Copies of this chain bind each other. A is one copy, B any other.
Amino acid sequence: MATRELLTDEDLDPAAREVFDDIRATRGTDRVNNFWRALAHDPVTLKLTWERLKVLMGPGALDPLTKELIYIAVSTANACEYCCHSHTAAARAKGMTDAMHDELLAVIGMAGMTNAIATALQVPVDAAFDVGQGAA
C-alpha cells in the first residue's frame, strides 16, 4: 500500500494526462508505472520530474545504460525498494546483460564495504586528491 492513492487514467487532471501521454509516446508502451501514478496528484512536480528525467537519461556524455547503472547504485545505497526494481528493469531493457549485472552488484557491494571502513576509520583525505593537482 502507498501513502497516496495511485491514480488511474480516469483520475488525472488535464496537466497530468499530458505528461502521461508523453510518457507513453516516449517509451512506446501503454503502461505507465506506479511511480508516476502516485506522483500524479501534483502535476507540477510530475511534469518537472518527467521532463528532466527524459532528457537526462537519454544519450549524452554518458550513454543511457551507464546512467541506469549509476541510478541503481544510488537507489541501492538509499535503500529505495521501488527504485531498485524499476531501474533494474530499465537497465535490462537498455541492454544490461547478466554478466554486467553481476559486476554491477559486485562493485556496489565493494563500495558498500570500503565506504563503511573509510568512514569508521575517518580516514583523512589525501592532499593528492585535491582538484588541480592531478588525480591518483
Contact = CB atoms under 8 A, between A and B. Distances in A.
Interface residues of A, number: 90
Contacts of A118: 35, 38, 80, 82-83
Contact of A60 (B91, B103, B135): B103
Q: Which 6 residue pairs spanning A and B have beta carbons closest together?
A: A77-B77, A112-B116, A89-B135, A74-B111, A61-B99, A42-B102
21 contacts: A2-B122, A3-B131, A31-B126, A33-B129, A35-B121, A35-B123, A45-B109, A56-B107, A60-B103, A62-B104, A70-B73, A74-B74, A74-B76, A74-B116, A82-B123, A83-B111, A83-B115, A89-B128, A90-B135, A93-B135, A108-B117
